[in-house]
A and B are shown apart, each in its own frame.
Chain A
């Protein structure tokens, strides 16, 4: 099974900050990686597929990069509505595996 190691597990940031979250795959997964945002009590929302392609309607302050085993999600200027938990998910093979999540909190 492919293990996804996500870091950090949590971070505190201020509105306007640049935030970077990293996911590392235990083996190469091409660009078969997506990013998801979850707010408390809500279903996850899809942000990015194929490591770097923004889902329609997702603000351009979100960006993704990486290929193979190293991936990043960047929020260029954190907004109040971005405080949430973020998960990466590998879509390369079964079983699908998520990262442990990164909780982005208000400093």
Chain B
């Protein structure tokens, strides 16, 4: 069974740091790109960050750029999110999400289409004094 289990959430003061982990199982972790997506209490979903399968490429949302760092350890089937300079508005449930894709169209003009599946249950980060 494909499974993603997050850990590392908790209560932290503004300006503090926290490191989230995501343990992956049931699939070849080293062949998939991964993402973090968060959801503030009572709010919608917000994409946070992406990392390619071999860590060559990373992307970040504007609200976390320069403060958060995504990384992975393929030998340990683990994904991480280092969060620094935390703010009250970073309070959210953070989900680890696998990035899946398939080639769409013919070999000359086709492209990859992507989707997020599965999602971990999430870990709650609360930033408050």
Q: Which residues of A contact B (CB under 8 A)?
A: 1, 30-32, 34, 36, 38, 42-46, 49-50, 55, 87, 89, 91, 94-101
Contacts and interface: CB of A to CB of B under 8 A. Distances in A.
Interface stretch (B7-15, B18-26, B76-84, B119-127): B119-127
B59 A44 contact: no
Q: B interface, how many residues as a size bin?
A: 20 to 34
A59 B63 CA distance: 36
A55 B47 contact: no
B104 A95 contact: no
A96 to B, nearest CB: 4
Interface of B: 35, 44-47, 50, 59-62, 95, 102, 104, 111, 113-122
Nearest to A38: B45
B62 A95 contact: yes
The 7 A-B pairs of least Cβ separation, nearest first, read A49-B115, A46-B117, A96-B47, A43-B119, A91-B114, A94-B59, A50-B113
